């Protein structure tokens, strides 16, 4: 159960988010490929989830009563790998093996390869359906744990996703929270140019969901929204988190060309310089 959020906790989450961003840049730099923008953009959400919201135990990843975090847009797994290691699921040193042969850190997440990964993902549009299946199993067994499903905005192009949206409404799945990374970019360009989604809020409302909209870089709002979702019994809840793709690295921010690209050596250095300044700043605040 979520505890009251303290100033110290907020500071911790903020510094974890920066650590995630630094790890993401380093991992992608070594791997030479991967998705920068979304991984950086969701760092604050990941930090808030694993360092406050989720009821979980990194030393016992398959603990029966854990909350389940389903990452539907598997391509931002570098951020999840980073937060899992920072939370203690596996050694931080292992992050450098991302996308390498014989690594547990697959290019897209694979259930069973790495502790803390609940489902295999990457092909878009299937995460919410799986999250609903998991939530249904919890309901059938009268479990109290909750399911959180992270989604990208681009994957809302997939018909498969909307099948799940309708089914959640039919079944009134209330032990599930969908969190959409609304960063307005996908591989080929701006979401509204490739396949307009607006009004995403109205779409979910029409489909029978309870909708919350927040700043995805504000842990206080992220935690507040998941707390509010607990009190919604009659509907499924979606939190539309507005994020800046590439957040924290100024030359990547809001540029869709960074959706599916990794930094080269020079870019990595520039990015780390900028993020390290942020670390000093947060450490100074502590």
Partner 1 sequence: MLKDFINKNKDKEMSAVRNGFGEAIIEEGEKNKDIVVITADVTESTRCDKFAEKFPERFFNVGVAEQGMASVAAGLGISGKIPFISSYAVFSPGRNWEQIRTTIAYNNSNVKIAGHHAGIMTGPDGATHQAIEDIATMRVMPNMKVIVPCDAIEAKKATIAVAQMWGPIYIRLAREKTPIITTDSAPFTLGKAETFWDSSDGTKEKAKMPQVCIAACGPLIANAFTAAEILEEEDIGSVVLNIHTIKPLDEQKILEMAKKCGAFVSVEDHNIIGGLGSAIAEILAVKKPTPMEFVGMQDIFGESGNSWELVEKYGLSAKDIVQAVKRVIKRK
Binding positions for partner 1, rule: CB under 8 A: 70, 110-112, 118-123, 125-138, 140-141, 159-160, 163-164, 166-167, 170-171
Separation CA 113–CA 132 (nearest Å): 22
Separation CA 82–CA 78 (nearest Å): 6
Q: For residue 51, what is the DSSP state? A: I
To partner 1, the closest distance from the beta carbon of 66 in angstroms equals 12
Contact 35, 75 (CB under 8 A): yes
Structure tokens belonging to residue 243: 């994020």
Residue 270 CA to its chain's centroid (Å): 25
Kindly tell me the sign of the dihedral angle through the C-alpha atoms of 59, 63, 68, 73: positive
Q: Choose among 179, 173, 146, 155: nearest CA to 48.
A: 179
Separation CA 72–CA 161 (nearest Å): 10
Q: For residue 49, what is the DSSP state? A: I
Cβ neighbours for 170, distance < 8 A, ≥ 6 positions apart: none
Burial of 199 (0-12, 13-18, 19+ CB in 10 A): exposed
């Amino acid at each position: 159960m979520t505890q009251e959020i303290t100033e110290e906790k907020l500071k911790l989450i903020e510094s974890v988010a920066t650590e995630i961003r630094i790890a993401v840049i380093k991992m992608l730099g070594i791997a030479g490929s991967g998705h920068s923008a979304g991984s950086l953009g969701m760092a604050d959400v990941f930090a808030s989830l694993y360092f406050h919201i989720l009821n979980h135990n990194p030393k016992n990843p398959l603990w029966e009563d854990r909350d389940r975090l389903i990452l539907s847009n598997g391509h931002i797994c570098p951020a999840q790998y980073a937060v899992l290691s920072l939370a203690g699921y596996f050694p931080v040193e292992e992050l450098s093996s991302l996308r390498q042969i014989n690594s547990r850190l697959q290019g897209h997440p694979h259930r069973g390869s790495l502790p803390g990964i609940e489902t295999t993902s990457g092909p878009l549009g299937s995460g919410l359906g799986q999250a609903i299946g998991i939530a249904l199993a919890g309901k059938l067994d009268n479990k109290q744990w909750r399911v959180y499903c992270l989604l990208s905005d681009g994957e809302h192009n997939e018909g498969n996703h909307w099948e799940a949206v309708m089914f959640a409404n039919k079944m009134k799945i209330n032990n599930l929270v969908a969190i959409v990374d609304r960063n307005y970019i996908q591989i080929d360009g701006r979401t509204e140019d490739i396949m307009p989604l607006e009004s995403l809020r109205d779409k979910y409302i029409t489909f029978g969901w309870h909708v919350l909209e927040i700043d995805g870089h504000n842990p206080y709002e992220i935690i507040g929204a998941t707390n509010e979702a607990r009190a919604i019994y009659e509907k499924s809840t979606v939190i539309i988190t507005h994020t800046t793709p590439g957040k924290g690295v100024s030359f990547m921010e809001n540029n869709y060309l960074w959706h599916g690209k990794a930094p080269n050596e020079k870019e990595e250095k520039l990015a780390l310089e900028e993020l390290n300044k942020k670390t000093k700043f947060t450490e100074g605040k502590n």
